[in-house]
């Protein structure tokens, strides 16, 4: 397998992991999950472009920015299968309902959603939608969606890089691998995509980093590391923080 074909396979694997979009069947040798991490921001870029196009179409049709923001959120949930939202809900249930690391991890594996999950997910989506509305109202519709989709998925990669797995199985364990060039490629990709945000990029990155670090610290303290649910929650928390920070500049 050539270098280019291997990178394409890794990108497709990242797309399979983070979205519901059909990517076909990967041919042998199939890349390992850790090798595909560099492509998380690229998957975010593609998702952000789709979301940005929907937002522009909604605005052109005449929908108000509140409805446009809701349509964008709905589209992203549809494309990702609610992967990150499910992670946020499971994490909130586990952190809120468990009293030991083992019990918290057990709750997080339960597919049912509890009151903590409902509250956390509802508040997160409400904050994100309202912040989107504020940003869209300023006339910035397309590029913020692209930039934040890429940046928030970089922070998944960053937490995966520096936080050990909480379990000896599951997606967080399988995709964990420290070192190498992949985190730097992911960072460079995310920053290049987000560069058009201008000076507001500094505040956006700072807010997203703070939210991701706080969630990672809590995960380390309460369950001993990261899981797939933790990574999903990191993406959504970083995304919300980025939109809130960006809304201050409109």
- What are the φ/ψ torsions at residue 37 (nearest 5 degrees)? -65, -35
pLDDT band of residue 1 (cuts 50, 70, 90) is low
Lowest mean pLDDT among 61-70, 139-148, 177-186: 177-186
Residues in CB range of 131: below 8 A, 6 or more apart = 240, 243, 244, 246, 247
CA pair distance 131, 139, nearest whole angstrom: 13
Neighbours of 77 (CB within 10 A): 15
Contact 40, 14 (CB under 8 A): yes
Q: What is the mean pLDDT of residues 214-230?
A: 94
In this prediction, residue 127 carries a pLDDT of 96
**Can you name the residues that pair with 165 across neighbouring β-strands?**
226
Task: Read off the pLDDT of residues 72-120 as tens digits, 9 standing for 90 and up.
Answer: 999 999 999 999 999 999 999 999 988 899 999 999 998 889 999 999 9
Q: What is the mean pLDDT of residues 184-206?
A: 95
In this prediction, residue 173 carries a pLDDT of 63
Residue 171 reports pLDDT greater than 70: no
Task: Read off the pLDDT of residues 24-47 as tens digits, 9 standing for 90 and up.
Answer: 777 777 777 888 899 999 999 999
pLDDT band of residue 2 (cuts 50, 70, 90) is confident
CA pair distance 121, 229, nearest whole angstrom: 13
Residue 129 reports pLDDT greater than 90: yes
Looking at per-residue confidence, does 235 or 162 come out higher? 235
Residue 142 reports pLDDT greater than 80: yes
Query: What's the pTM value of the predicted model, to 2 decimals?
Result: 0.93
Q: Is 179 exposed, middle or buried (0-12, 13-18, 19+ CB in 10 A)?
A: exposed
In this prediction, residue 179 carries a pLDDT of 61
**Which of 182, 202, 177, 180 is CA-nearest to residue 191?**
202
In this prediction, residue 121 carries a pLDDT of 96
Q: What is the mean pLDDT of residues 225-240?
A: 95
Looking at per-residue confidence, does 162 or 175 come out higher? 162
CA pair distance 36, 88, nearest whole angstrom: 23
Q: Is 16 helix (H, G, I), strand (E, B) or coil?
A: helix
CA pair distance 146, 63, nearest whole angstrom: 20
CA pair distance 223, 67, nearest whole angstrom: 38
In this prediction, residue 172 carries a pLDDT of 58
pLDDT band of residue 177 (cuts 50, 70, 90) is low
Q: What is the mean pLDDT of the chain?
A: 91
In this prediction, residue 67 carries a pLDDT of 95
């Amino acid at each position: 397998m050539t270098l280019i074909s291997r990178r394409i396979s890794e990108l497709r694997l990242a797309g399979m992991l983070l979205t519901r979009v059909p990517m076909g069947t990967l041919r042998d040798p199939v890349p390992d999950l850790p090798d595909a991490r560099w492509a998380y921001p690229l998957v975010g870029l593609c998702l952000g472009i789709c979301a940005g196009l929907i937002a522009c179409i909604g605005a052109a049709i005449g929908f108000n920015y509140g409805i446009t923001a809701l349509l964008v959120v709905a589209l992203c949930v549809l494309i990702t299968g609610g992967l990150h939202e499910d992670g946020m809900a499971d994490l909130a249930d586990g952190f809120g309902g468990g009293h030991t690391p083992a019990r918290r991890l057990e709750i997080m594996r339960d597919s049912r959603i509890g009151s903590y999950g409902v509250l956390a997910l509802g508040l997160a989506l409400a904050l994100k939608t309202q912040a989107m509305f504020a940003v869209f109202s300023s006339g910035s519709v397309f590029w913020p969606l692209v930039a934040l989709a890429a940046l928030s998925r970089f922070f998944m990669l960053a937490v995966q890089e520096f936080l050990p797995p909480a379990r000896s199985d599951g997606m967080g364990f399988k995709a964990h691998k420290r070192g190498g060039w992949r985190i730097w490629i992911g960072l460079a990709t995310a920053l290049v995509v987000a560069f058009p945000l201008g000076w507001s990029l500094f505040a956006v990155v700072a807010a997203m980093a703070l939210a991701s670090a706080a969630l990672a610290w809590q995960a380390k303290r309460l369950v001993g590391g990261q899981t797939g649910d933790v990574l999903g929650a990191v993406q959504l928390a970083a995304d919300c923080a980025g939109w809130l920070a960006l809304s201050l500049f409109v």
